[in-house]
Amino acid sequence: MAKTSSFTLSTAAGVWLATTLMTATPSWQSPAPQAPGKTAEDPAATLFVRLCSDCHESTRVTALRRTRPDWEDVINKMIEKGATGSEKELEAVFDYLVRSYGKVFINTAKADEIAAVLSLSPKDAEAIVAFRTANGKFADFDAVRKVPNIDVKKLDEHKDAVAF
The residue ranges that bind ligand HEC (CB under 6 A) are 51-52, 54-56, 61, 74-75, 78, 81-83, 93
Q: How far is the CB of 94 from ligand HEC (least distance, A)?
A: 8
Task: Rank residues 51 and 147 by Cβ distance to ligand HEC and give the closer one.
Answer: 51
The least distance separating ligand HEC from the CB of residue 23, rounded to whole angstroms, comes to: 20
Q: How many CB atoms lie within 10 A of CB 85?
A: 24
Distances in Å between the Cα of 50 and the Cα atoms of 2, 3, 56, 93, 159 are: 25, 24, 11, 10, 28
Least gap, CB of 21 to ligand HEC (angstroms): 14
Nearer to ligand HEC, 49 or 143 (CB): 49
- Report helix, strand or coil for 62: coil
Cβ proximity to ligand HEC, 93 vs 155, nearer residue: 93
Q: Which is nearer to ligand HEC, 72 or 124 (CB)?
A: 72
- Please tell me what DSSP assigns to residue 104: E
Q: Report the nearest approach of ligand HEC to the CB of residue 52 (Å).
A: 3
Q: What is the DSSP letter of 6?
A: G
Cα→Cα distances 20→13, 58, 69, Å: 10, 21, 31
- CA–CA gap between residue 96 and residue 43 (Å, rounded): 9
Please give the radius of gyration of the chain, using alpha carbons only, rounded to the nearest integer: 18
